[in-house]
Amino acid sequence: MDKNTRICIIGGGPAGLSAGMYLEQKGYENYTILERLDRVGGKCWSPHYNGRRYEMGAIMGVPSYYAVEDVEKFCGITHDGPKLNRNYKNAKGDVIEPFEPKKNILKIPRLLKMKKQVKKLGELLETKYKGYDLNGHRGVAEGRYDGYACTPGRERVQGENPNLKDLCLPFNKFCEINGVELTQDIWIGPYTSFGYGYFDEIPAAYVLKYLDFQTTMNFVKVNLWTWKEGTQYIWEQLNAHLKNPARLGSTIEKVDRRDGKVYVTVNGVVEEYDKIIVTAPLHIPGKRADGQKGMDEYFDVRDDEKELFSKIDYERYDVQAVLTKPEDHPEISYYVFDNMVKEKLGHLMVYYRRWKDEIDQVITTYALRKHKDMEEIPYETCRQMVQDDLKTMHNPAKEVINEWSVYYFPHVFSEDYSAGWYDKVEAMQDKYDTFYAGEIMAFGDMDETAEYSRELVERFF
């Protein structure tokens, strides 16, 4: 492709900014990043309180976040934040140690069995499911793998593996057919409590591409990365180092694609491009209170785009930033496993304390209020449930200073995944001078989305 190609990138989150970085590194400097908000970072949002930043979105990373590491090197920054740790409570607010045999004598047989199953799953993923951990979903539904390895070198790998079709199943079914049901006790913490849905509804491909064995073990061992100025700082720094920083406050009213050109009406002005990369949502079911729209609402959407994108759903994952009285402040972050089941939809699943040396700081709470087979819990109802749960946890909030109900983790369900949704969308890349990227094309965490942008640039530019 001509290095002077005029490229429009929609979205100034990790996917869009990374696309700009990787394009720039390949010699494409005629790109424009349009961001509708007054900040960059997308779901990496780190507001300030009491002179420090707290997290409303992404909180942490792990050493296998190679795309994030690319950004760090590009910007000359590093993961210099506080060391995180956590403990556990039951639904009654009692501190528990679910993985400590000496504290759970009656559960020793289950814990030993779980340990064996975790080892077994690790072996299965390396052998029976070879290729499972490649970024993106190309070929999975067809029993093949095609992508770049999750290694620092990110070498291109391809191959046939009919067993990969099992990844189309919901994760609980995947675990059942492989005799590793108890591994869900380990995977659920960094999965469901982080807002990515429940194991009986989400295809195993999403679970295992995000929580590949290496990444999961890093979470288990609390081998985590954080950033002193928050995850948003990573993307603020990247934006500052790009030759063409994102244009904030860019409201896109219309996109017309005709005669080999892309015409973008932004803030009332028509701009002409040759190609467009969409990292913003492709489809948002229903209307959102914040006015965010899917591309199918402002593009000259084609029939194939409309049909495929209509299959996308997303999680209702809510965050509250609260303050407590000094005597009610938690001494550490807590996970509440009892609340990570669909029967406890809308309840508090995890709450975070970021800084060890400060009591006058924000505690952030997280709750899911949607399951595909259940009635969605209204936002205000969930908000109150979390407040009530904090009282049960013995850490009542005295004040809510921030809250966020964000468009979160776009995905398709097993029926559409197994019907080849991803391969159909991948076959449309550049069909209308349009490239589809962002969360839906890989997974909804900052590294997977950034990595997909890297691969998109590698494949097509």
Q: What is the largest CA-CA distance in the chain?
A: 71
Question: Tens digit of pLDDT for each residue in 56-103?
Answer: 999 999 999 999 999 999 999 999 999 999 999 999 999 999 888 877
Question: Cβ of 62: how many Cβ atoms within 10 Å?
Answer: 19
Residue 372's identity, in one-letter code, is: K
**Distances in whole angstroms, Cα of residue 317 to Cα of each of 15, 137, 298, 423:** 20, 24, 25, 28
The predicted pLDDT at position 256 comes to: 98
For the chain, report the end-to-end CA distance as a whole number of angstroms.
6
Answer whether residue 152 shows pLDDT above 90.
no
> Could you give the percent of the chain with pLDDT greater than 90?
93
Answer whether residue 347 shows pLDDT above 90.
yes
The predicted pLDDT at position 105 comes to: 83
CA dihedral in degrees (444, 446, 447, 449; nearest 10)?
60
The predicted pLDDT at position 60 comes to: 96
**Distances in whole angstroms, Cα of residue 297 to Cα of each of 180, 255, 282, 411:** 43, 10, 9, 18
Mean pLDDT, residues 223-249 = 98
The predicted pLDDT at position 40 comes to: 98
CA distance 220 to 222: 5
Tell me the HSE value of 47 on the side-chain side, using a 13 A CA sphere. Answer: 14
Question: Tens digit of pLDDT for each residue in 110-120?
Answer: 999 999 999 99
For residue 238, the SS3 value is helix
Any idea which residue has 């100025």 for tokens? 229
Within 8 A by CB and 6+ apart from 242, the residues are 17, 20, 21, 24, 33
The predicted pLDDT at position 104 comes to: 78
More confident residue, 150 or 275: 275
Indicate the pLDDT class of residue 150, thresholds 50, 70 and 90: confident
The predicted pLDDT at position 101 comes to: 81
CA angle 90, 91, 92 (to 5 degrees): 90
Assigned token pair, 253: 């009213």
Assigned token pair, 303: 């029939």
Structural domains of the chain, ranges and CATH numbers in brackets: 7-45+227-312+412-460 (3.50.50.60), 99-220 (1.10.405.20)
For residue 329, the SS3 value is coil
Question: Tens digit of pLDDT for each residue in 186-232?
Answer: 999 999 999 999 999 999 999 999 999 999 999 999 999 999 999 99
Q: Which of 275, 277, 229 is CA-nearest to residue 41? A: 229
Containing 405, the helix (H) or strand (E) segment is: strand 399-411
156: β partners: 148
CA angle 100, 105, 110 (to 5 degrees): 75
Indicate the pLDDT class of residue 151, thresholds 50, 70 and 90: confident
Indicate the pLDDT class of residue 1, thresholds 50, 70 and 90: confident
CA distance 409 to 412: 10
